[in-house]
Amino acid sequence: MWKSIVLAAALVGSPWAMAQTTAPDGTPPGLATSQLSSATIQKAGHALHDIAHIRMDYSQRMQAVQDPGQRQQLAQEAQGRQIQAVKAQGLSVQQYNQVMQIAQADAGVKQRLLTAAGAQ
């Protein structure tokens, strides 16, 4: 149960907020739901799993630190690790963000993504 809550929270709060417009159907430009391969969803799911763990780890670390400078340094380190997690799956940050945006608009894709994330 806890694992699915963490994964869902990671899905909702994509690590990189990109100001993109969406198509009338709610999908981001450049990638349609029908273009998402199972492999892409699997890769994004594995990255989502890793990102959820990175966020939990760094959230705890940041709560233990009082100095704003140290918190900023930890936040930058966490973001770097999240980017590495995405790239380790063979995706660009843009591709990952597009999958996350599609998953927020398409319940079927969201379920496949969460299944892939939980399968690790």
Question: Considering the domain boundaries, does residue 43 fall inside one?
Answer: yes
Question: Considering the domain boundaries, does residue 46 fall inside one?
Answer: yes
Question: Considering the domain boundaries, does residue 32 fall inside one?
Answer: no
Q: What is the pLDDT of residue 64?
A: 94
The whole-angstrom separation of Cα 69 and Cα 18 is: 25
The whole-angstrom separation of Cα 30 and Cα 32 is: 7
Can you read off the two tokens belonging to residue 12?
Answer: 């909702």
Question: Considering the domain boundaries, does residue 91 fall inside one?
Answer: yes
Q: What is the pLDDT of residue 80?
A: 97
Q: What is the DSSP string of 69-114?
A: HHHHHHHHHHHHHHHHHHHHTT--HHHHHHHHHHHHH-HHHHHHHH
32, 45 in Cβ contact below 8 A?
Answer: no
What total of structural domains would you count in the chain? 1
The whole-angstrom separation of Cα 77 and Cα 65 is: 14
In the DSSP assignment, the letter for residue 64 is T
Question: Considering the domain boundaries, does residue 51 fall inside one?
Answer: yes
Read off the pTM.
Answer: 0.76
Give pLDDT tens digits along the chain (120 positions).
Answer: 445 544 555 555 554 433 344 444 554 455 566 678 999 999 999 999 999 999 999 999 999 999 999 999 999 999 999 999 999 999 999 999 999 999 999 999 999 999 999 975
Question: Considering the domain boundaries, does residue 29 fall inside one?
Answer: no
Question: Considering the domain boundaries, does residue 26 fall inside one?
Answer: no
82, 51 in Cβ contact below 8 A?
Answer: yes
Domain span at 110: 2-6+37-118
